[in-house]
Structure 1
Amino acid sequence: MDSRKPPEFTLELSADRSNVKDVIFFHRYFTPLTPATHDVLDTTLPYVSEDDIESLIETRTTAFVRSLDTASSTTPHTSPSHYSSSKSAIPSPSRGILAIKFLERKRRKGWFIAKADEETVWETWLLDVTLTSARSEPEAARNRRVMERSLQEAAMRVVEVVDGEKGHIPPITTNESNPFPYQIVIHPRGGG
């Protein structure tokens, strides 16, 4: 059994509530698909238009935003709805991590009994998301520029890693439509 830790790649992103689901893109999807693009802010990204992925992303990002709201409501001054009495106080954005894990399904062999498949992680992408909000138009414009820049940097990082880091990808040993299952896991960190 290989005891090496699978590679982890981190992307730092800023997003508002309406764009959180758009910062997750599947770049290790090995099934045939029809090419598609998706416009996010002023950036056009490749897009996997699969109902099950879209549904999973929608579910997980909704839970992610709720977890950040819950974490910030229990920690004073970390959410736009929790200001100190001082007018100069600026709320801290909420932060959390979405982990996208790509798994390899391995058959477990027993002497006489068929055992369940074992899923092991072969790659993890950590999306360190800062959830932004704005109290004014100039603040909203600044947040949009920050979101655009972080999205463009993340997309370039994905291209760089996916193109250069291939040696750890397990061989495809199945005829299933998606040889590598995936998970999206939420790790809220609270504000700050």
Structure 2
Amino acid sequence: MINVELPTITVDLVLDRSTAKDVLHGVLHAILFHRLFGTIKPTSFEVLDITVPGVSDPETERLVNEKVEAFWRGVEGGNNKRGTITVTLSEKKMKKNYWFSVGEEEVPWEQWVINAELKQPKTDRERQTFQSSLASTLSKAIETMINYTSSERGRAVVPPITDAKGISPFPFKVTVKIGNMEVS
């Protein structure tokens, strides 16, 4: 089932080799920090002199590292230097009774799409300009996350929390695509 009204928040990044993993790591952590809603232990990271919120949890850290590495392998190993990392948040709902089907299904309620492109500055001057621009983009992305998640619209899409156990009352999935191919 595809929900046409699914809010999608997009973050566009142009990355260089030296900071790509750190920036992606920070952005994923920031999204999860603002959307997990369970009992989390907050942490923060310094990325390009910007403090980025994060989640101090071994499973979350493993997931984030796994997805960042998948993205990196995808853009490093091929000709396509663009990809997306998508975080989809869902809620569990009882399946509608279509002839004897019972059980739960995951229904998405929000999606975050990180469009990332790897470029390499050629000179030191280009590198400095690039890093400055990327820091500004990262700062704006964090600001967008804060503004959206604290807005009436951002709060309204969150389903009722019926299970307060664990790090997230809602199932979430993180997928990485390079071109149109999912990588893991």
- TM-score bucket of the superposed structures, by smaller chain: 0.7 to 0.9
- Please give the TM-score of this superposition, normalised by the length of structure 2: 0.80
Shift of 1:41: 1.0
Other-structure match for 2:177: 187
Other-structure match for 1:146: 133
- The AA in structure 2 aligned to 1:6 is L
Shift of 1:124: 0.1
| Residues 34-56 of structure 1 deviation map (CA, whole Å, 9 limit, x = unaligned) | 33221111101211111111111
- The AA in structure 2 aligned to 1:117 is E
Other-structure match for 2:35: 28
Alignment of 1:1-192 (within 5 A): 4-16=4-16, 17-19=20-22, 20-24=24-28, 25=30, 26=32, 27-72=34-79, 94-108=81-95, 115-164=102-151, 165-177=154-166, 178-189=168-179
1:14–1:146 Cα contact (<8 Å) kept: no
Return the alpha-carbon distance in structure 1 between the equivalents of residues 49 and 140 of structure 2: 13
Flag as ranges the 4+ runs of structure 1 deviating above 6 A.
none
Shift of 1:21: 2.1
Give the match's secondary structure for 2:42.
Answer: coil
Provide the aligned C-alpha RMSD in A: 2.6
Return the alpha-carbon distance in structure 2 between the equivalents of residues 106 and 48 of structure 1: 26
- Please give the TM-score of this superposition, normalised by the length of structure 1: 0.77
| Bigger radius of gyration | 1
2:26–2:54 Cα contact (<8 Å) kept: no
Return the alpha-carbon distance in structure 1 between the equivalents of residues 2 and 69 of structure 2: 35
Runs (5+) with no aligned partner, structure 1: 76-93
Shift of 1:132: 3.0
Higher helix share goes to which structure? 2
Give aligned pairs, total: 170
2:41–2:57 Cα contact (<8 Å) kept: no
Percentage of identical aligned residues = 25
